[in-house]
A and B are shown apart, each in its own frame.
Chain A
Amino acid sequence: MYIHKTYCISPQQDPLQADINLLNEPVNKKLLAIEPSYKKIPPGILRRMGKSVRMGVGTALPLMDKEKSVDGIIIGSANAGMDECINFLIQIVDYEEGQLTPGNFVQSTGNVIAGQLGMISKNKGYNITHVHMGLAFENALIDALMQLNANPTNTYLLGGVDEIPPYQYNIETLNDAYKKEDISNKVLYESDSSGCLPGEGAAMFVVHAEKDGAIANVKAIHTVHTNDVDLVKQQLQLFLQKNMEAEEAIDLLISGENGDKLTLPFYTACESLLNADTAVVRFKHLCGEYATASTIGLWYACQFLQNQEIPSHMLKKESSNKKYRNILMYNNFKGGQHSFMLVSGI
């Protein structure tokens, strides 16, 4: 599957900002996405959208505009519409099941981003929303691979979106998901506490089976649910054996490391399997942690393949080999949902 166009919204004005001093820092312990003005979304529709819907639709429309119309829309989002759900539910309780306006309810279905995109772009093709938490985007990507296999001449819009909705933030705080202390994203990986720095964002990709003019080739993906570090290590070994030629090597590992001491052992274990010449890059200090953060990880993979340049604050480990062709991304969500992606240059 070849990626031809990408676009993203993230907490950084310039997601490839080379100067660490110019990075946006967390506000109230959250890395909030910087939203553009969304000129392509009709104002009447924009007003009714929650943030994740705005980000999703706002990231997708510029790509759909430039491209010939896509044949289907495949979205991964763990929590799209969730805050509208809770908002509606709170009205139910506060007004004791009185007469409520249906707006929040209609906007609350998890498929609202793909649904709105279908409606706005009059796209009657394949339309689906994967919501499997930390593997929502990975399942969307597998879906895109399968759709292209069945329909090799088609073009698909593939993307992942999540926000930090206020109510969800409260619930995740009760779950001890976040760091309790104030921490700068510039020193995120020096943290030895548990919990992550919450973030949000959206990235979209136009994908098809045609190689010409592509930015990147998504060669393989694997997902697994486990809390066992050794099993993850073993699965990565199998994944590399199965998908890499003997003479090939991974030039760059994009690691989902997020400053949480509880998930660090998984990342360390995966790094240990790669050879001395593999560079290691981290990106969660730029976008924070969220269920579909691997979407931005894939966006970074595309940029590195295209530009062959990596901001130094992203590099955990440099390599003597400065040519990046084969990229492996390893990410996990809450230490239980793991994914490996293999992305190569053209």
Chain B
Amino acid sequence: MSRIFITGMGVISAIGNSVAENHLALKAGVCGVKKGLDLFPSKYAALLPFGQVQISSAELLKKLNITESGVTRTSILALHAFNEAVHAAGISAEDISSSETAMVGANTVGGMCLTDELYNDANTKETGSEYTSSYDCASVNLFLQRHNNMLGIINSINTACSSSANAIMYGAMLMQNGYAKRAIVGGTDSLAKFTINGFNALHILSSDNCTPFDEGRKGLNLGEGAAFLVLEKEEDLNGKKVYAELTGFCNSNDAYHPSSISDDGFGPYLAMKGALKLANLTADKIDFINAHGTATENNDETESRAMIRLFVNPPAFASTKANIGHTLGAAGAIEAVYSILSLINQELYPNLHFKKSILATGLTPVLEYKKQTVNHVMSNSFGFGGNCSSLIFSKV
């Protein structure tokens, strides 16, 4: 099997519009989750904090020079991160179009951020909005494909909140199986009334800033953003700059409940264990875990139990959900970028708003920015439908 390296990455989130901006904000412990959502009118705008990307859709469309109609915020967040990633990897437009370049994107919201347009189109109230082909999840990647005239394998994956971890995995497998020479992989999601009201109906949205792994946690905050990585094979590197190696990945199912993880976190345990096995690493070699850490009562305790079961004494860990909110289909990709930043810079970023360890598990996340040797980072993503995925990135 070919070794797979990350040669470019791009990210946009509530704490910055580029990898460099996100890096500075992580170091400084910036919290981008705030009340005052202004993307669309919602009764929750003033009541709940959100991790909104600080650039309007109109501004982003202009910046990206998009003139075609029917392009959603989910798609342009994706394109913004995609452009940064391919630029960083030095991939030419010709290479992007090549039949040897695959693109795998994940998202869960698609064009459903357009509440009123979708409402009217679904009820055939008018002649149809400009977005009638943009509501489904595939529309985002069909847009990226069209925009870049891509001839390689294109895919869209939706495994809820673990979607973009699976997109990274699928891209790596396409390369290892000879379906692609390189892969551009990632995920995107924009804030939407749909997800806000959905998670609110489940009573798992916190009215305050979320507090991952804290005994007093009251639920998650929603965020938005996108991230893409460029994956290339060892034999094609030709001395180019490499950010990290993707050494392990595993997808397992918790097979317990549609919207919560089993008490003992068996699915998360299997995903982490499988990723270690593929990376051919023992548990003690993991220096840091970028936890899923949504700050819901269910996730943080079950994830802690799974970490204890596998690692006995878990390594340093933290969640960045308090910095940017839960970005759903983008989370796995954004956190892959954050994991790689830890590897490149040999440093860990603080888990914000933590006060007291969960009584039942007693674990304390990283609380301050610190320099430390980081050779292997594990990144966890778990989703509805019991979908659990873990990735391992290693220092080069």
> Which residues of A are at the interface with B, using a C-beta cutoff of 8 A?
73, 78-79, 82, 85-86, 88-90, 92-93, 96-97, 99-102, 105-112, 114-116, 118-119, 121-133, 135-136, 139, 142-143, 145-146, 149-150, 167-168, 170-175, 223-226, 336
Cβ A127 vs Cβ B156 within 8 A: no
B132 within 8 A of A: yes
- Shortest beta-carbon distance from B50 to chain A in Å: 14
- The listed residue (A97, A115, A123) touching B258 by CB distance below 8 A is A115
- How far is it, in angstroms, between the C-alpha of A19 and the C-alpha of B112 when the chains are bound? 44
B69 within 8 A of A: no
- How far is it, in angstroms, between the C-alpha of A224 and the C-alpha of B257 when the chains are bound? 37
- B99, B122, B197 pick with most chain A CB within 10 angstroms: B122
Cβ B174 vs Cβ A142 within 8 A: yes
CB contact under 8 A between A123 and B255, given known A109-B160, A111-B383, A118-B385 = yes
Cβ A174 vs Cβ B132 within 8 A: yes
What are 14 A-to-B residue pairs whose CB atoms are below 8 Å?
A86-B118, A92-B194, A97-B193, A102-B198, A102-B202, A105-B197, A116-B385, A127-B385, A129-B159, A130-B157, A133-B138, A139-B155, A143-B173, A146-B176
> Across the interface, which residues of B come within 8 angstroms of A172, CB to CB?
132
Cβ B197 vs Cβ A131 within 8 A: no
> Across the interface, which residues of A come within 8 angstroms of B160, CB to CB?
109-111, 115
Closest to A45 in B: B258
- How far is it, in angstroms, between the C-alpha of A173 and the C-alpha of B198 when the chains are bound? 27
Question: On chain B, which size bracket covers the interface?
Answer: 35 or more
Top 10 closest pairs, chain A to chain B, by CB:
A115-B385, A174-B128, A110-B158, A105-B198, A133-B138, A127-B253, A102-B201, A167-B122, A118-B253, A132-B156
> Across the interface, which residues of A come within 8 angstroms of B99, CB to CB?
224
Cβ B142 vs Cβ A225 within 8 A: yes
B386 within 8 A of A: yes
Contacts A97-B42, A123-B255 known; list 13 others, CB within 8 Å. A78-B136, A78-B138, A86-B122, A97-B193, A100-B201, A102-B198, A105-B202, A109-B160, A118-B385, A119-B255, A119-B258, A143-B173, A174-B128
Interface residues of B in 9-65 (CB under 8 A from A): 42-44
- Shortest beta-carbon distance from B360 to chain A in Å: 23
CB contact under 8 A between A145 and B177, given known A109-B158, A129-B157 = yes
Cβ B384 vs Cβ A142 within 8 A: no
> Across the interface, which residues of B come within 8 angstroms of A99, CB to CB?
201
> Across the interface, which residues of B come within 8 angstroms of A126, CB to CB?
251-253
- Shortest beta-carbon distance from A222 to chain B in Å: 9
> Across the interface, which residues of A come within 8 angstroms of B112, CB to CB?
85, 89
Closest to B141 in A: A132
- The listed residue (B137, B151, B193, B259) touching A226 by CB distance below 8 A is B151
Cβ B156 vs Cβ A133 within 8 A: yes
B270 within 8 A of A: yes
Cβ A146 vs Cβ B173 within 8 A: yes
Cβ A146 vs Cβ B174 within 8 A: yes
Cβ A119 vs Cβ B166 within 8 A: no
- How far is it, in angstroms, between the C-alpha of A135 and the C-alpha of B154 when the chains are bound? 9
> Across the interface, which residues of B come within 8 angstroms of A92, CB to CB?
115, 193-194, 197
> Across the interface, which residues of A come within 8 angstroms of B197, CB to CB?
88, 92, 97, 100, 105
Interface residues of B in 264-302 (CB under 8 A from A): 266-267, 270
What per-residue 1/0 map shows which CB atoms of B87-104 lie under 8 Å from chain A? 000000000000100000
- How far is it, in angstroms, between the C-alpha of A142 and the C-alpha of B180 when the chains are bound? 12
> Across the interface, which residues of B come within 8 angstroms of A85, CB to CB?
112, 194
- How far is it, in angstroms, between the C-alpha of A81 and the C-alpha of B115 when the chains are bound? 17
> Across the interface, which residues of A come within 8 angstroms of B128, CB to CB?
171, 174-175
Cβ B193 vs Cβ A89 within 8 A: yes
- How far is it, in angstroms, between the C-alpha of A207 and the C-alpha of B152 when the chains are bound? 25
Cβ A119 vs Cβ B155 within 8 A: no
What per-residue 1/0 map shows which CB atoms of B172-189 lie under 8 Å from chain A? 011011010000000000
- How far is it, in angstroms, between the C-alpha of A124 and the C-alpha of B255 when the chains are bound? 6
Cβ A132 vs Cβ B385 within 8 A: no
